Amino acid sequence: MTRESAVRVGLVYPELLGTYGDRGNAVVLVQRLARRGIDAELVEVRAGNRIPADLDVFLFGGGEDNPQGAAADGMRASAANIARARDNGAVVFAVCAGFQLIGTRYETGDGEQLDGLGLVDAHTAAVPGAARLIGEVVVEPDAPLPLLTGFENHSGRTTLGPGTRPLGRVRVGGGNGDGYDGVLAERVVGTYLHGPVLPRNPALADFLLQWVVRPLPALPSPLEEQLRAERLDVALAGPFGRWREKLHLARG
């Protein structure tokens, strides 16, 4: 299929939802298309602006509670545009706070209720006194994908509604807090994985892109796969792997 226009990759509210370098996810998607000779552009949607309906990919990243609340207001104000774009084939990829906000609601540690977009049947609560989930994560996806690697830093516990699929089973880390991570729906992926996650997992990047561009030509990714293998090795080795990595870095 030949597209008549460039693929528009939307980075939504990067000043609010960009705590852990999730901008890198947008860069990776644009670059993986460009390396295949497919026109693509990165569209930044700044906070306070309406989210446009002509994006092909919506990227929502991570953020702290106050910025997350501001982002939630803007996302709800643009809900109709996002819904229209999805009806036209757009893809949504949401990380951490972004993942929480594409669900039905998010409850802060102070008990404040934030209404989400309701794109998926999921609600999240920051449980007072519960241990914060921090560290490397490995997820075995419920999709034709290899093991996913990333890191998490959040206090949310996410519950999926009946019949709602997680992105995958957690092998290492916390994820949603119930042995699974994220959500997988029609042209929607949510996850707690930072990293940024798409530079670490090129197959996941292409999984998103194939919903937009079909057929999606193969693209050798030796450096990206090397990074993925290294992060998996550290995470799967547990505390010993992290000690070995620190020792290696200290030695230069």
- pLDDT (tens, 9 = 90+) of the chain, 252 residues, equals 456 789 999 999 999 999 889 999 999 999 999 999 999 999 999 999 999 999 999 999 999 888 999 999 999 999 999 999 999 999 999 999 999 999 999 998 888 899 999 999 999 999 887 899 999 999 999 999 999 999 999 999 999 999 999 999 999 999 999 999 999 999 999 999 999 999 999 999 999 999 999 899 999 999 999 999 999 999 999 775 555 555 444 444
Structure tokens at 186: 């029609």
Is 194 among the residues known to form the active site?
A: yes
Give the contacts of 251 (CB within 8 A, at least 6 positions apart). Answer: none
CATH number at 7-220: 3.40.50.880
23 alpha-carbon distance from chain centroid: 11
Q: What are phi and psi of 8, to 5 degrees?
A: -100, 110
Beta-bridge partner residues of 247: none
* CA–CA gap between residue 138 and residue 136 (Å, rounded): 7
pTM over 0.85: yes
Is 96 among the residues known to form the active site?
A: yes
Q: What are phi and psi of 132, to 5 degrees?
A: -75, 140
Give the contacts of 177 (CB within 8 A, at least 6 positions apart). Answer: 133, 156, 157, 158
Query: Considering 96, 123, 154, 248, which one is annotated as catalytic?
Result: 96
Q: Of 86, 24, 89, whose CA–CA distance to 51 is shortest?
A: 86
